[in-house]
Every structure is written in C-alpha cells, then in structure tokens.
Amino acid sequence: MLITGASGGIGFELARLFARDHHNLILVARSGDRLAQVASELRALGVTVHTYAIDLAAPNASKLLFEQVQSAGLTVDILVNNAGFGAFGEFAQMPEEQIVGQIQLNITALTELTRLFLPAMLARRSGRIMNVASTAGFQPGPLMAVYYATKAYVISFSEAIANETRNSGVSVTCFCPGATDTGFAKRAGNDRSRVFQQFGAMSAEKVALDGYRAVMEGRTLAISGVQNWVVAQSTRFAPRKLVTAISRWVSEPTS
Ligand SMILES: NC(=O)c1ccc[n+]([C@@H]2O[C@H](COP(=O)([O-])OP(=O)(O)OC[C@H]3O[C@@H](n4cnc5c(N)ncnc54)[C@H](OP(=O)(O)O)[C@@H]3O)[C@@H](O)[C@H]2O)c1
C-alpha cells in the first residue's frame, strides 16, 4: 500500500495501523530523514517499507512517483492520499506560492495519483483508495478560503468516483477528520484559533483508527468523531451565510 504524508501526523498513524495488519508499505513525504526514521520503526513490525522523498506540490511529482514505483516493480493495492496542508490568512494577502501549493498538493496530486493508480486496480478488480478530506470541506472557510475549498473538491471528487467504481471491486473512501492534534495547525498558522484552542482537537491515533476502519469497510464517506459528524450535518440545513459566519468565528484566534 502507498500512503502520502506518512512522515508524521495522521499519515504516520495510518501507516502504523496498516503495518500492524501486515501490509507492506510505500511511504511518501518531503523529508527523507523523517521518512527513514519512520521506516525503521515500522520495519520492526515485520513489514517491508519503501520510502520516496518527493515534494508532491511540485509539478509532475505524481507522475515521477508513479514511474519510480512502477520501475521498482511494486504493486499498489491500497492508495491513501493523505498529504495536505492549509494556510491561514485573508485571501487577498496570501502569498501566491501558498495558494498554488495548497491546490497542487490537496487537489492536483491527489487527483493525479488516483488517475495513475486506479486503472490497474480496476483491471485486478481489487483495490482501495482513501482520500483524506476534512470537515472543512462541508462549508466555506473565511480566513482559510483556499484550504476549505480544496477539501470541498476532495469530498465531491471522491464521492463521484466512488459511484463510478461501484461493483468494480475497488472502493473509494473519503475520510474527513476534524481538528486533530498534529503539526498541521502550526504549519497552517491557525494553532491559536478557537477550533484548536477552545473546542479541542482529537488525537492522531484515534482519528487514524477511524480512517483505517472506514477504508477497510469500504465506506464512501466517513467523518471522524461524533461531534464532527453532528457539525457537518448541521451545515446542510442552516442558512449558508450563517454557516459561513460561524465558520469564520471558529477559525479566528482566541487572542
Ligand atoms: N490536523 C488537522 O486538524 C486536520 C483536520 C482535517 C483534515 N486534515 C487533513 O489530514 C491530512 C494529514 O494532515 P496532518 O494533520 O497529519 O498534517 P501534518 O502533521 O502536517 O502531516 C502532513 C504530512 O504530509 C506531508 N507533506 C506535507 N507537504 C507535502 C508535500 N508538499 N509533498 C509531500 N508530502 C507532504 C508531511 O511530511 P513532510 O513535511 O516531510 O513533507 C507530513 O507527513 C491532510 O490532508 C490534512 O488536510 C488535518
């Protein structure tokens, strides 16, 4: 199985769960050092681990990764598109590289990797794809407008291809964590936000376990945590301007 963003956070915890169930691993992230540490920790669980240090936000990175995996003779039976990042701040002031980087990693790489690995799964009539979205994908997100929009794409795209591949032997699961205690919030610059400071974040271990179960059960859409599920459902019935205003309030810093 191949997992992107496996060097830390939710991706690492997912990789550990797959390793415990004896899945051989292909781990991808930018940091080669961190990947090497993670790989040796997971090899101790008795599985084979290959690592690829690649920046998936770079153009053509997905194709390069696919070609390297092919030429190593590795088969990908499960693809987990987990790597992603967010950036906090008003859109008008956001540096272009952060805007393009989020779209490239959260949308383009995820879509390209799905397109590259799916046909062989369909030919084998067996496989699983897990796309990590977010509860952010269920409503607009002022102050993180691009990030929320990228995750809305992931939900829509994943549900659509889950439908296209029904009865094919391949399952597509869109997994939506809420606030989770990882390096994500610090990188995004929203670790002082109400959602992380006042509402509390789930542990990466707990979130990964929810995701692991969802992908192994072949669920199409899974939201981690009861509270996150209730919030995601409530956005379907409330007026959109109210939902957007609450979303902004939740993202604002506490001080
Ligand atoms: N934490 C949350 O509150 C939360 C909530 C909802 C959804 N999510 C989603 O869950 C997923 C995992 O997030 P996380 O919380 O585990 O974040 P994290 O702790 O920041 O981990 C992100 C992982 O992605 C890798 N990565 C980042 N940029 C990359 C790039 N350009 N190319 C390749 N790999 C890259 C990182 O490794 P390197 O830095 O070594 O590249 C790391 O392994 C993301 O899609 C995120 O949007 C997170």
User: How high is the pLDDT of residue 3?
Assistant: 98
Question: Residue with the nearest Cα to atom 34 of ligand 1?
Answer: 29
Q: Which residues line ligand 1 (CB under 6 A)?
A: 4-11, 29-31, 34, 55-57, 82-85, 105, 132, 134, 177, 179-180, 182-185, 187
Q: Determine the Cα–Cα distance for residues 58 and 114; give it in Å rounded to an integer.
A: 17
**pLDDT bucket at 208, cuts 50 / 70 / 90:** very high
Average pLDDT, the chain: 97
* 101 to 34, 52, 104, 108, 137: CA distances (angstroms): 21, 19, 5, 10, 18
Determine the angle formed by the axes of helices 145-164 and 110-124, rounding to 10 degrees.
10
Report pTM. 0.98
Terminal Cα distance for the chain, rounded: 43
Q: How many Å lie between the centroid of ligand 1 and the Cα of residue 168? A: 30
Q: Determine the Cα–Cα distance for residues 121 and 27; give it in Å rounded to an integer.
A: 19
Q: How many Å lie between the centroid of ligand 1 and the Cα of residue 82? A: 7
State which amino acid sits at residue 165: T
Q: How much is the average pLDDT of 174-203? A: 94
Q: What is the pLDDT of residues 68-92, one digit of tens each?
A: 999 999 999 999 999 999 999 999 9
Cβ neighbours of 233 (radius 10 Å)? 11
| Proportion of the chain above pLDDT 70, given as a percent | 100
For residue 76, which phi and psi values (nearest 5 degrees)? Answer: -105, 105
User: How high is the pLDDT of residue 200?
Assistant: 85
Q: Determine the Cα–Cα distance for residues 177 and 200; give it in Å rounded to an integer.
A: 13
Ligand 1, atom nearest to 86 Cα: 47
User: How high is the pLDDT of residue 77?
Assistant: 98
133: tokens are: 């979205």
User: How high is the pLDDT of residue 199?
Assistant: 87
The residues, any chain, with a CB within 8 Å of residue 152's CB and separated by 6 or more, are 137, 138
Q: Determine the Cα–Cα distance for residues 163 and 167; give it in Å rounded to an integer.
A: 9
Q: How many Å lie between the centroid of ligand 1 and the Cα of residue 123? A: 30
User: Is a pLDDT exceeding 80 seen at residue 122?
Assistant: yes
Q: What is the pLDDT of residues 228-249, one digit of tens each?
A: 999 999 999 999 999 999 999 9
User: How high is the pLDDT of residue 17?
Assistant: 98
**pLDDT bucket at 255, cuts 50 / 70 / 90:** confident
Tell which one of 10, 16, 113, 151 to mutate to probe ligand 1, the residue whose CB is within 8 A of the most ligand atoms: 10
Active site residues: 147
Tell which one of 2, 30, 31 to mutate to probe ligand 1, the residue whose CB is within 8 A of the most ligand atoms: 30
Q: How many Å lie between the centroid of ligand 1 and the Cα of residue 150? A: 14
